[in-house]
Amino acid sequence: MSQLRVGVIGCGSIAKFRHLPEYGANKNVDIVAVCDVVESRAKEMAENYGAAAYTDYKDVIADKTIDVISVCLPNYLHAPVSIAAADAGKHVLCEKPMATSREEAEQMIAAAEKSGTKLMIAHNQRFVSSHEKAKEIIESGSIGKIYSFRTAFGHGGPEGWSIDGRDSWFFNKEKAFIGAMGDLGVHKTDLIRYLLGEDIVEVAGFVESSAKEGTDIDDNATCILKSDSGIIGTLAASWSYNTDQDNSTVIYAEKAILRLEDDPDYALIVQYTNGEVVNYKLDAIQTNEDGGQTTSHVIDHFVDAIVNNTEVPVSGEEGMKSLEVVLAALESNQNKTIVKLS
């Protein structure tokens, strides 16, 4: 198969530190176009990767020689740009959260199905070594019935990561739609669904704007989730963890407790009820502090699915189910009710 020709739309931090270097390292890919409304950013990335620079995403999508589009844009543009790319016959890798509503997500899925192209959502936590190992242990049945969980993702806020700092679109509600729950919480709704192998069916959420002055975007959330089989647990997403980030998950089961990314030395610790403790030294989870030096594995999985014509590991349907948990948390907070997901 000839090289896949890739266009990356949006040249902010997620493209600069994740998508572009990972495409650049993949032997099956040629980066041929980059696009950003800030021309200097597009030109800088174009020079770094030997690509053409654009300021209008429609010009990238109109290029019939491009096979693949990465959508690395503010949340409100995820759906319209992904749909336009699919309509033009491009495979699409879209950043999370995939959309701002279920309706948008459904339209994205339908566009990919109609054009016969692949749609993948960039939920990279599924590919973290400790998470993959924990899923393997859970599926083996060796820890018995799962009773409960807690999962958290918090740091000091996107101003430390975004290319625009405190002026970033992350703090603009019209562009972001949702704050910490969309930036971080959706990672964990997807991770819990992946680990448990179950969907979330009930959600209660407290979603607040308390840490970031001058914006009404949410920056702190705590949710209670219930799965198909009755597993209950908590999810926290925050932009207020100002001295150190938390990206941990703990699974409480019949025969063991699994601690994922909860210890500085061991990515996974399994504490069995018989007293045995197994410490796993695995690849470190990727953080914003590492400057993007470790791979998220997202691009490699996406490219492999295209090259081998297999199912993408995080489909549009999976992305939508993880988004729906976040939307339910917002609804729960607004209406002060427990929200049931069909």
At 276-318, the pLDDT tens digits run: 999 999 887 766 555 444 688 999 999 999 999 999 999 999 9
111 and 170 in a single domain? The answer is: no
- Crossing angle between the packed helical segments 129-140 and 186-196, to the nearest 10 degrees: 30
pLDDT of the residue at 150: 98
Query: Which tokens hold the place of 279?
Result: 């410490």
What phi and psi values does residue 272 have, to the nearest 5 degrees?
-85, 155
Domain of residue 261, CATH code: 3.30.360.10
137 and 274 in a single domain? The answer is: yes
Q: How far apart are CA 295 and CA 314, in angstroms?
A: 17
204 and 310 in a single domain? The answer is: no
- Residue whose pair of structure tokens reads 């040249």 in the numeric block: 11
Structural domains in the chain (count): 2
pLDDT of the residue at 293: 47
- Crossing angle between the packed helical segments 102-115 and 316-335, to the nearest 10 degrees: 170
Asked if residue 152 lies in contact with residue 125, where contact means CB atoms within 8 angstroms, the answer is: no
Query: Which tokens hold the place of 179?
Result: 């704050």
pLDDT of the residue at 292: 44
Q: Using 70 as the pLDDT threshold, list the residues of the chain that sit under it.
A: 1, 286-294
pLDDT of the residue at 109: 98
For residue 35, the enclosing domain spans 4-123+296-314
Q: How far apart are CA 58 and CA 35, in angstroms?
A: 10
30 and 146 in a single domain? The answer is: no
- Crossing angle between the packed helical segments 102-115 and 75-87, to the nearest 10 degrees: 20
137 and 61 in a single domain? The answer is: no
**How would you classify residue 113: left for phi > 0, otherwise alpha for psi between -120 and 50, otherwise beta?**
alpha
Q: What is the pTM of this model?
A: 0.95
Give Cα 202 distance to the centre of its chain. Answer: 21
